[in-house]
Amino acid sequence: MVKGGKKPLDLRITLGDLLGSGTRALTRYTGTLLTVFVVQSLVAIAAMLACAAVLAQAFAHLPVWDEAVDGDLVSLALCIRFAKANMLACAGIGFGALLLWQLASWFLAGGVYGVLAQRPEGRSETARCFGASGASTYLAYARLALCALPGYLLVLFVFATCAGAMLNRIEHALTVGDLVLPVAVSLLPALAILHFLWTVSDYARVELTLRHESHDPGALATYLRSVGFVVKRPLTLIHASLGWLGFVLITVGYMWLSTGHPMFGAEGAVTLFVIRSGVSLARLAIRFAVLAGQVDLGGSRALPPRRVEIKAEPKAP
Amino acid sequence: MVARWALAVCLVVACGHDHGPPKVRKLDPRDKPDGTPALRGGGPARSPRIANYKLDARFDAVRHQIAGTETLTWTNTGASPVDKLPFHLYLNAFKNEASLFMRSSHGESRLAKASDSGWGWITVDSLMLGGVEQVAKLRPVGLPDETVTELPLAQPIAPGQTVELNFKFTAQLPEVFARTGYKGDFNMVGQWFPKIGVRTGPPGLEQWACQPLQALTEFFADFGTYDVAITVPTTHVVAATGVLVSEVESPGGTRTYTFHAEDVHDFAWAADPFMQFKYGLAHVDEGQTVKVQVFYRPEQEAFATRHLQAAIGALEKFSAYFVPYPWSVMTIVDPPPDAAMGAGGMEYPTLVTTAGDSVFVRPGVKLPEFTTVHEVGHNWFQGMLASNEPEEAWMDEGINEWADAHVMADLYGARTSGIDQLGFQAEITALRVALGEDPASLPQPIATAAYAFVDFDTYASASYEYTLRALLTLEHEVGSTKFLAAMKAYAKAFAFKHPTGRDFYTTISAQLEQDLGWFFNPVFQQVGGMRLSIRSAECRQAHGIRGLNEAKKTVLEADAPDTGTWVCEVVVQNTGVVHVPVDVELRFTDDSTQRVHWDDRGNGTFERFVVEHSTKLASVRLDPDQKILIDSPLDHAYRLEGDGAASLRASARIASWAQTLMQVVGP
């Protein structure tokens, strides 16, 4: 192994540049964004159909379930008590879909980073780039996920510790004012660490994608280098947090607007599906824009050490 | 700088509501004794006043300890002589892990846990009878439990004779987890003095009822008068049973409050340096109003207002439904949130503790109100109708729950008596039916002694919920007006007495002029409940008879074509032991309905209904008016054609959540 060339951090890239990268990527690679969204929706729809089959098996003949779904608390309590196993099965299906998506996301994220890094022209070239990049970095991303695991355990530990210390306060809170501080103390440290770790993972992925062919960096070394990079460039955290802020605002906004507006019947169900899909697409677009900014900023990083393999040449006969 | 900020945040987070050090308290003029009689409007004794107490308690607020003296005047109102006197020493339930209470509760009571350090106990230091010291003669009953002690008498007490006993005792409060004790500066003092048992049974065959305290048992005592002087530091305010008759500054920075109560069977009090009172008036009849006061800490102001309104409403409604509230005052103690699990939700005559104060209990969630209504209601069912709680817990808890359902509906609306928040509404009884255990699955009947229940869940389900559901079902069956009148008659007949379950059955049956054994016996005495369900429902096209006729000619499908109508067959079953008449509603695809009635009392466990109609049957609904509450209503409605639309809508929501999470973990 030999050391790679060191270059100073490029401090000229600003938050405005990163946001600009995001909007450019959204307009230029809308098809890529939609592809990821369609795949994600397909996973969600598959989960939905599986859950529907499980629930219908228990409730198709019981009108009380209709009332429960329409928001009648008493009916809902009855149904949950009656069909605990079916409810657990639905939770299991949801969890399974999440795991499946996690596995698929390594490929999809690799593809997205590849497209954003290589900036291919044309639909077919973009598709080829997406598939090739996703496939080539898949295992590296999987190894990266393993490297990130201890960090997530730390997040859990911090959350458990803080929440444990605050539990009594939360339990006995009388007003929202009483609740704010203990909840913040319970959540914010863990969320801050989680945000840091997710940003580190993002930049590690960028590095693995950008330098995969030229430097073939190791997952652990990349992860650790990315920790250093994120620490040195707080802009990375600010940029990513803006993305999460948008994500939360859209989600909370949707919840706020939908409260008290139940949509009954088939027409309502279709309307709801369209609105939910729109919300999901908007959130995914934000995430996509953040990834684009990360690729630009990640490209400014110092090159990683190059791994050299010496292969023995077979002797000529 | 950062360290300073961090320290400041830590301090703010670590501290709860900071009240500062306790300060000397001056009483609100409304707390001053004003000569109000203990009984509303004065008047003669309402009860036999068998056990009358004069108590003097000096409270050590640091050690949470009471040095007390007690003069008990007790009359043998039975027809047989008494050769021993048993006394409850309830606080010894918290003395050690050998007590029956701790063994049966494993140190847990209704979600609260005993502390490892805050043990409680009571010792009798002196007992004088006829001028002779008797303390050495006291013998604990049922060692190692020490919650009951007996005094054998050299000279039996003859029928009609009255004796005076003088106690000196020391009582140490436990850290509160089961109704009585302290938490921080808050002190809830219940069952704190030696208390004599109750003689029950037919004349000449009376027996002492003086049960040791167990995890699931409560209290049983005779009516009497109480004159209680409580000396506390001047920093503390006291709320207590009865009316305040004097308030005197004492030496050593203390103040003595004296309370007087009549025709009550218990005396409890609370002391706290930070609490204050909130007042209101309840108009329970044409006579004098009832002063209602809530004792609370300043940070609980918003909840105190809710408790006060609920208490006033409850007093007025209970008075209208049963008998007017007889006392002049009602005190609600709202314990601090960290003490509420242990001290909250307990009833004493004219004083109850409530609970439910939490940021998570928004104004539309009626948990605090229900707690107050329930505890205030106990002033009727147990306070006045003083049933034996250890033996027949359902008589106070269950009947009170039934009354609570009416009062909550009256005060907060029939459909919104449980929840009315964010567009969600729920009636409190319906919610409890949905969340409660299926009565048919209970291993013991309602009429089980509290100490004999297999566990807390069975005790609670049977004594509270199943009784509530049974009485509502009976009310729906016989008609609400008649049933309410019968309950009022029962309350009038047994106020200030010790009614038994048999008294209840016979009074209600007599008032309703029917033998209700078909209901009371299986519901209260047997296990098995009601298991009503739709066994099958199907329709076939109607046509003439096909096959061989009298002429031995074969009639084929072409000879007896379908008539265009449908023959529908519905089989309804009840595999439980309780049989209540039930309506069955058949709804057809043309949206028309037809009702049939099934009275299965003595008519087997199933019924087959066959109806012919122009269209097919769409759905069947048992008990469409929801009169029967002792059975789970989940499968009371059944539609013949399965419909997955609701499941699809629910799944879409689940998928939406799943997709949100995917976007958090994925790209």
The pLDDT of residue A5 is: 46
- Of B277, B396, B388, B383, the C-alpha closest to B327 is B383
The pLDDT of residue B110 is: 73
- Of B195, B206, B202, the C-alpha closest to B148 is B195
Residue B15, in any domain of the structure? no
Structural domain that includes position B563: 532-647
- Locate B440 and state its tokens: 């048919």
Asked if residue B299 and residue B265 are part of one domain, the reply reads no
Residue B318, in any domain of the structure? yes
Residue B154, in any domain of the structure? yes
Residue B40, in any domain of the structure? no
Residue B527, in any domain of the structure? no
Asked if residue B569 and residue B498 are part of one domain, the reply reads no
CA distance A5 to chain B (A): 30
The pLDDT of residue A2 is: 38
- Residue B565 and residue B613 in contact, taking contact as beta carbons nearer than 8 Å: yes
- Residue B619 and residue A63 in contact, taking contact as beta carbons nearer than 8 Å: yes
- pLDDT category of residue B10 using cuts at 50, 70 and 90: low
Chain A partners within 8 Å of B667 (Cβ):
36, 105, 108-109, 112, 287-288, 291
B420: how many CB neighbours lie within 10 A of its CB? 18
Chain B partners within 8 Å of A81 (Cβ):
434-435, 634
Nearest by CB: A176 against B13, B359, B647: B359
Residue in B closest to A270 by C-alpha: B649
Chain A partners within 8 Å of B9 (Cβ):
181, 185
pLDDT tens digits for B247-262? 999 888 999 999 999 9
pTM for this one?
0.90
pLDDT tens digits for A263-299? 666 677 778 888 889 999 999 999 999 999 999 998 8
Nearest by CB: B663 against A52, A82, A287: A287
State the best of A59, A82, A167, A174 to mutate against chain B, taking most chain B CBs within 10 Å: A174
CB–CB contact B662 A62 (8 Å): no
CB–CB contact A52 B648 (8 Å): yes
The pLDDT of residue A3 is: 43
Q: Convert B455-502 into a string of H (helix), E (strand) and C (coil).
A: CHHHHHHHHHHHHHHHHHHHHHHHCHHHHHHHHHHHHHHHCCECCCHH
Residue B288, in any domain of the structure? yes
> The CATH number of the domain where B643 resides is what?
2.60.40
- Residue A235 and residue A297 in contact, taking contact as beta carbons nearer than 8 Å: yes
Looking at this protein, which amino acid is placed at residue B58? R
Whether residue B506 has pLDDT greater than 60: yes
Half-sphere exposure of residue A125: CA atoms within 13 angstroms, side-chain side:
7
C-alpha B330, offset from chain centre: 18
From the number of C-beta atoms within 10 Å of its C-beta (0-12, 13-18, 19+), residue B6 rates as: exposed
CB–CB contact A74 B424 (8 Å): no
Comparing A295-309, B108-122, B475-489, B647-661, which segment has the lowest mean pLDDT? A295-309
**Does B423 or B38 have the greater pLDDT score?**
B38
Inter-CA distances, B532 with A80, A200, B606, B628, Å: 20, 60, 9, 10
Residue in B closest to A162 by C-alpha: B13
Residue B121, in any domain of the structure? yes
Nearest by CB: A101 against B425, B646, B666: B666
Asked if residue B610 and residue B461 are part of one domain, the reply reads no
Nearest by CB: B646 against A66, A247, A284: A66
H-helix or E-strand containing A102?
helix A84-118
- Locate B246 and state its tokens: 């004097």
> The CATH number of the domain where B428 resides is what?
1.10.390.10
Peptide bond into A182 cis (omega under 30): no
Domain-ending residue, one of B273, B295, B323: B273
- Helix or strand or coil: residue B649? helix
Asked if residue B366 and residue B291 are part of one domain, the reply reads yes
Give chain B's domain count.
Answer: 3
Nearest by CB: A98 against B12, B16, B665: B665
pLDDT tens digits for B424-450? 899 999 998 899 999 999 999 999 999
**Parts of chain A with a pLDDT under 50:** 1-5
State the best of A34, A51, A144 to mutate against chain B, taking most chain B CBs within 10 Å: A51
A-B Cβ pairs (cutoff 8 Å, strict): 204
Domain-ending residue, one of B273, B293, B312: B273
CB–CB contact B637 A251 (8 Å): no
The pLDDT of residue B600 is: 84
- pLDDT category of residue B364 using cuts at 50, 70 and 90: very high
Whether residue B334 has pLDDT greater than 70: yes
DSSP track, B69-123? EEEEEEE--SSS-EEEEEEE-GGGGGS-TTSHHHHHHTTEETTEE--SS---EEE
Whether residue B338 has pLDDT greater than 60: yes
Chain B partners within 8 Å of A280 (Cβ):
656, 659-660, 663
Chain B partners within 8 Å of A78 (Cβ):
434, 632-634
CB–CB contact B644 A52 (8 Å): yes
Chain B partners within 8 Å of A51 (Cβ):
647, 650-651, 654-655
> The CATH number of the domain where B201 resides is what?
2.60.40.1730
Asked if residue B332 and residue B269 are part of one domain, the reply reads no
Average pLDDT of the segment spanning B540-553: 88
The pLDDT of residue B182 is: 97
Asked if residue B505 and residue B558 are part of one domain, the reply reads no
Asked if residue B124 and residue B264 are part of one domain, the reply reads yes
CA distance B293 to chain A (A): 21
Whether residue B266 has pLDDT greater than 90: yes
Residue in A closest to B434 by C-alpha: A78
- Residue A7 and residue A229 in contact, taking contact as beta carbons nearer than 8 Å: no
CB–CB contact B655 A55 (8 Å): no
Percent of chain B whose predicted confidence (pLDDT) is above 70 = 97
CA distance B357 to chain A (A): 6
Nearest by CB: A272 against B300, B644, B652: B652
Average pLDDT of the segment spanning B397-403: 98
Angle value at C-alpha A172, between A171 and A178, nearest 5 degrees: 105
DSSP track, B218-263? ------EEEEEEEEEETT-EEEESSEEEEEEEETTTEEEEEEEEEE
Average pLDDT of the segment spanning B183-206: 96
CA distance B295 to chain A (A): 16
- Residue A190 and residue A162 in contact, taking contact as beta carbons nearer than 8 Å: yes
Asked if residue B382 and residue B250 are part of one domain, the reply reads no
CB–CB contact A97 B639 (8 Å): no
Domain-ending residue, one of B481, B502, B521: B521
CB–CB contact B635 A62 (8 Å): yes
Inter-CA distances, B186 with A41, B21, B109, B294, Å: 56, 13, 19, 15
Asked if residue B513 and residue B641 are part of one domain, the reply reads no
State the best of A172, A194, A247, A271 to mutate against chain B, taking most chain B CBs within 10 Å: A172
Inter-CA distances, B341 with B335, B358, B389, Å: 9, 12, 21
From the number of C-beta atoms within 10 Å of its C-beta (0-12, 13-18, 19+), residue B131 rates as: exposed
Asked if residue B262 and residue B158 are part of one domain, the reply reads yes
CA distance A31 to chain B (A): 15
Residue B35, in any domain of the structure? no
- Of B183, B362, B294, the C-alpha closest to A173 is B362
- Helix or strand or coil: residue A251? helix
Nearest by CB: A43 against B13, B422, B662: B662
The pLDDT of residue A265 is: 67
Asked if residue B616 and residue B586 are part of one domain, the reply reads yes
Chain B partners within 8 Å of A72 (Cβ):
426
CB–CB contact B13 A181 (8 Å): yes
Chain A partners within 8 Å of B12 (Cβ):
181
Asked if residue B297 and residue B223 are part of one domain, the reply reads no
**Radius of gyration (Cα) for chain A, nearest Å?**
23
- Residue B277 and residue B32 in contact, taking contact as beta carbons nearer than 8 Å: no
